[in-house]
Copies of this chain bind each other. A is one copy, B any other.
Amino acid sequence: MNNFEDLLDAFKNGNISRDEAIHRLSSVQEMELGHTIVDLDRRRRTGDAEVIYCAGKTPQQVRDIVSSLVEADERVLATRASEETARAVLGLFPEAQYNETARIVTVGKSAENSGRPIAVVAAGTSDLPVLEEAAATAEFFGHEVIRALDVGVAGLHRLLRRIDEIRRARAVVAVAGMEGALPSVVAGLVDVPVIAVPTSVGYGANFGGLTALLAMVNSCASGVSVVNIDNGFGGAYTAHLIAR
């Protein structure tokens, strides 16, 4: 009886009082850790585990949250995890896995998704961490991932050589810094949504990725939508919602 609908019915039928209903409503779905309220009901509601954004949390805080999720039988995806945070989690859960490039810790994984894969493409070598964050996220949610690195628009032949493979995907996450042109070119070559992820890669007048962000928002190609700078997770999460 730990969901909204059941509780409401129980209340309606007089099985529980209104106060009781409200009390249960509050307690069953979440667990207060002092520093954080862990949402233990999220998978039931949305189909997905809760994701832990580690930046700005201490390794201990992250470990606590992971613990309460694991106890509740949830799989765990923790992004922006430093090595220290990863060690804190792996010390407790040896079955956890740390993808160092992606800065992601996972415990468990979704069932395989039998649908079309997700493509994650990136313009240059320095975009690798963001590409990996996106790819690891998509894989956590059970998707096959097509990776294409170093396919920036100044060397079109590299992209064109991979394009048939990329076209297999149900959604494309396109990662680029500098002038951020990759998503526009890709969107002109595929017929699925392109999620553009600007990166803070660059120098001079790139303003920590703002230039790429604005360029992507102004894309001349239809079917491009944009997430925050360096937000590989966010790009992949939207792709997952599309592809599942």
- Identify the A interface with B (CB < 8 A): 11-12, 18, 22, 25-26, 29-30, 35-37, 39, 45-48, 51, 55-57, 61, 123-126, 128, 149-150, 152-158, 161, 178-181, 184-185, 187-189, 191-193, 195, 198, 200-231, 233-235, 237-238, 241-242
Q: How near does chain B come to A169, taking the closest CB pair, in angstroms? A: 12
Q: Which residues of B contact A219 (CB under 8 A)?
A: 154, 178-179, 228
Once the chains bind, are A35 and B193 in contact (CB under 8 Å)?
Answer: no
Once the chains bind, are B161 and A125 in contact (CB under 8 Å)?
Answer: no
Once the chains bind, are B203 and A229 in contact (CB under 8 Å)?
Answer: yes
Which are the 3 A-B pairs with shortest beta-carbon distances? A204-B229, A181-B181, A225-B225
Task: Supply 9 further A-B pairs (C-beta < 8 A) apart from A204-B208, A204-B229, A223-B241.
Answer: A29-B157, A51-B222, A152-B220, A154-B222, A155-B188, A180-B181, A181-B185, A205-B228, A242-B242
Contact partner, A45, options B35, B46, B149, B191, Cβ 8 Å = B191
Knowing A125-B56, A225-B238, A227-B225 are in contact, say whether A161-B25 is a contact too (CB < 8 A): yes
Q: How near does chain B come to A212, taking the closest CB pair, in angstroms? A: 8
Instruction: List 26 contacting pairs A-B, 8 Å CB cutoff, sorted by A.
Output: A35-B125, A37-B149, A37-B150, A39-B155, A47-B191, A48-B191, A51-B222, A55-B203, A123-B220, A154-B188, A154-B219, A156-B185, A156-B189, A179-B219, A180-B181, A181-B184, A204-B208, A204-B229, A214-B214, A217-B228, A217-B229, A222-B233, A224-B238, A225-B238, A226-B227, A242-B242
